[in-house]
C-alpha cells in the first residue's frame, strides 16, 4: 500500500490546528481565571483608592450561574459571528471559544469566598487580555489580540439578550458599581465586537497580500 503523503499532511495540519486552538483558548481561560483573583475580598487588604463593587459569597456556579445548553451555545454563536470577520477558520473557532473561556472566572465561586462577581467581564480585562495576546502573538497577526479583547463584549452582549438584562462590574476600577445593561444594548456590544475585528482583518490581509506581491 503506497504512502499517501497528501492525506498525512492534511491529518498533521488538522492536528496542529486543533492543538493551537486548544492552547490559545486555554490561555484565555487561564487569564480570565487569574484576573478574577483581583476581585477576591481577602486580597483587597490595601486601599489604593480604586473604586470596587461590594464583594460577597456568590455560591456555586452550578447553582447560581444558570448554566444551560442555550447559555453555552449562545455564547459560541455570538463569538462565531465575531470570528467570521477575521476571514480565518481557526479564528472563527477561537471566536466561538473565547466567550466560553471568559466564564472561567466563575470557577473561583467554588471556594465560597467573598468576591466581586464577573470580575473579568469588564473593560479592564479586555485591555489586559489585548496586551497579553499582543506581546505573545500580535507581532505575527494583530487579529488574534483584537479578537481576544472584543470577545469580552460579545460575551456581555449575549448575557444581556439571554436574561433581558444583566449586571457587570464593567468599568472597574474607575466606577465602583455593578452596571445594569438591558434592552437593545446587546446590539451595541456585538457591534463593538464585530467592527474592530473586521477593520483590523481587512488591514492585515491587505498588508499581507502587498508583502506577498513585493516578494
Q: What is the mean pLDDT of each run of 10 residues along the chain (215 residues)?
A: 49 78 96 93 62 86 81 95 96 97 93 91 96 90 96 97 93 90 95 97 89 64
Give the three-state DSSP class for 180. Answer: strand
- Looking at residue 34, its pLDDT comes to 95
The domain ranges of the chain are 8-37+70-106+117-214
In this predicted structure, what is the pLDDT of residue 213?
65
Q: What confidence score (pLDDT) does residue 5 get?
A: 45
3-state class of 176 per DSSP?
coil
127 Cβ neighbours under 8 A, 6+ residues apart = 149
Neighbours of 111 (CB within 10 A): 12
Q: In 3-state terms, what secondary structure has residue 116?
A: coil
pLDDT for 3 equals 45
Give me the pLDDT at residue 215, please.
Answer: 55
Any residues with CB less than 8 A from the CB of 169 and at least 6 apart, and which?
Answer: 39, 52, 53, 116, 117, 118, 119, 121, 122, 177, 178, 179
Say what the pLDDT of residue 214 is.
61
Position 52 scores a pLDDT of 82
Amino acid at each position: 500500500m503506497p504512502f499517501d503523503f497528501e492525506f498525512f499532511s492534511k491529518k498533521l495540519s488538522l492536528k496542529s490546528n486543533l492543538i493551537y486552538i486548544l492552547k490559545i483558548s486555554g490561555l484565555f481561560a487561564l487569564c480570565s481565571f487569574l484576573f478574577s483573583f483581583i476581585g477576591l475580598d481577602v486580597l483587597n487588604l490595601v486601599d489604593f483608592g480604586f473604586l470596587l463593587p461590594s464583594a460577597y459569597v456568590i455560591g456555586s456556579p452550578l447553582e447560581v450561574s444558570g448554566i444551560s445548553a442555550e447559555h453555552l451555545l449562545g455564547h459560541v454563536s455570538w463569538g462565531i459571528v465575531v470570528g467570521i470577520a477575521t476571514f480565518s477558520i481557526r479564528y472563527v473557532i477561537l471566536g466561538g471559544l473565547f466567550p466560553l473561556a471568559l466564564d472561567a472566572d466563575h470557577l473561583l465561586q467554588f471556594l465560597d469566598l467573598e468576591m466581586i462577581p464577573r470580575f473579568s467581564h469588564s473593560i479592564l480585562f479586555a485591555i489586559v487580555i489585548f496586551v497579553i495576546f499582543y506581546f505573545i502573538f500580535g507581532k505575527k497577526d494583530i487579529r488574534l489580540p483584537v479578537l481576544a479583547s472584543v470577545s469580552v463584549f460579545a460575551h456581555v452582549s449575549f448575557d444581556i439578550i439571554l436574561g433581558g438584562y444583566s449586571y457587570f462590574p464593567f468599568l472597574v476600577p474607575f466606577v465602583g458599581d455593578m452596571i445594569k445593561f438591558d434592552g437593545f444594548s446587546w446590539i451595541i456590544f456585538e457591534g463593538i465586537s464585530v467592527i474592530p475585528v473586521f477593520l483590523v482583518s481587512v488591514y492585515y490581509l491587505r498588508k499581507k497580500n502587498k508583502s506577498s506581491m513585493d516578494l
